[in-house]
Amino acid sequence: MLEELKTFIQVVKYRNFTKAAKKVNLSQPTVSLHIKRLEQYFDTTLITRSSKSKEVLITKQGEFLYEKGQDLIAQIDLLKGELLQIDDKAKKKILVGASKTIGDYFLPQIIGDFSNKYPDIQLEVFIENTAHICDMMNEGEIQVGLIEGIDPYYDFDREYFYQDRMVVAVSNKSPLATMDVSIDDLNNQIWISREEGSGTQEYLKLFLNMHNITPKNVIVFNSNYAVKEAVKNGIGITIISECVVSHAAFDKELNILPLELLPKRKYSYILPKDKEVDLDILTFINMLKDYKVNRTN
């Protein structure tokens, strides 16, 4: 009943089967089946649905199970940790959340260096956009988050660890690739953007607003690779981290415009507010800072 209980807790938390299904990575019918099994096990009704509004309504029994169930899950997680500590050979684990640009293009070398230097510490990395990483930190699902945007909804301890360079990238076939480009030339263009909640889209919106640039259209993709491929194939232009497109530019697959109006973007790590940080996490963070120095020399 453990997985069913975890599913039920998310349904109550979101008051929505679709959002709960996404959170626990299950289909909506499976979520409904989990709730039905719990109700059969406890021989009671936990959730009802309004036939008019389709609103999820929690019964008194459901509210009671929700409160007790959260405590039970926390105790089981604690028990799991204690059991792992019994085995002296059990590796310590750090749960790291990284935004997509950091996770795909910046973090791999650091992970390799860290694993070689500290073989007894295991890193488990989750790669999502900035908003999702902040949500995961708030829910206690990760121990340290690495983001490229801002965290407007939560109050975390935060510190910058690297300065990223953003560039305007265009197809080699674009007229812009052979022009002495000004800001005015970026008006009425098709812009390729990352999805809502990503630090890269946040930066693009800021840039367009700052320079009063009006796009002809905006096409959204949920990965850096898709954005790069769209630009390479002449679908539009974009603002993106230099580390994403530097190899493609070197191989003449696309062109980086020599604009000097793009301020630097900072990567930062986030930690739970006012919470003591484990020594292993501090060790990982210190390597991030050292890597920053190595990269800029």
Q: Where are the domains of the chain?
A: 2-86, 92-161+266-296, 166-263
Q: Over the stretch 236-267, which tens digit does the pLDDT of each residue have?
A: 999 999 889 988 888 889 999 988 767 678 89
Structure tokens at 148: 């490229």
Judge if 2-86 and 166-263 fold alike in CATH terms.
Answer: no
At 52 the pLDDT is 62
Instruction: Give the burial class of 52: count Cβ atoms within 10 A of its Cβ; 0-12 exposed, 13-18 middle, 19 or more buried.
Output: exposed
Q: What value does the mean pLDDT take over residues 87-98?
A: 77
Return d(Cα 18, Cα 76) in angstroms, integer: 26
Nearest Cα residue to 68 out of 52, 46, 97: 46
pLDDT score of 292 more than 80: no
Fold of 166-263: D-Maltodextrin-Binding Protein; domain 2 (3.40.190)
**Res 225: pLDDT:** 93
pLDDT of residue 193: 96
**182-191, pLDDT tens digit by residue?**
999 999 999 9
Highest mean pLDDT among 47-56, 100-109, 151-160 belongs to 100-109
Identify the DSSP state of 278: P
Over residues 97-115, mean pLDDT: 91
Q: Where is pLDDT greater, at 25 or 237?
A: 237
Predicted confidence (pLDDT) at residue 84 exceeds the cutoff of 80: no
In CATH, what number does 92-161+266-296 get? 3.40.190.10
Question: Do residues 65 and 46 touch, judged by C-beta distance below 8 A?
Answer: yes
CA–chain centroid gap for 97, Å, is 7
| pLDDT (0 to 100) of residue 163 | 87
Per-residue pLDDT at 89 exceeds 50: yes
Average pLDDT over residues 77-90: 69
The Cα–Cα gap between 73 and 135 comes to: 19
Residue 259 CB neighbours (<10 A): 15
Write out pLDDT tens, residues 132-172: 999 999 889 999 999 987 766 778 999 999 888 899 999 99
Mean pLDDT within 15-36: 87
Average pLDDT, the chain: 87
Structural fold of domain 2-86: Arc Repressor Mutant, subunit A (1.10.10)
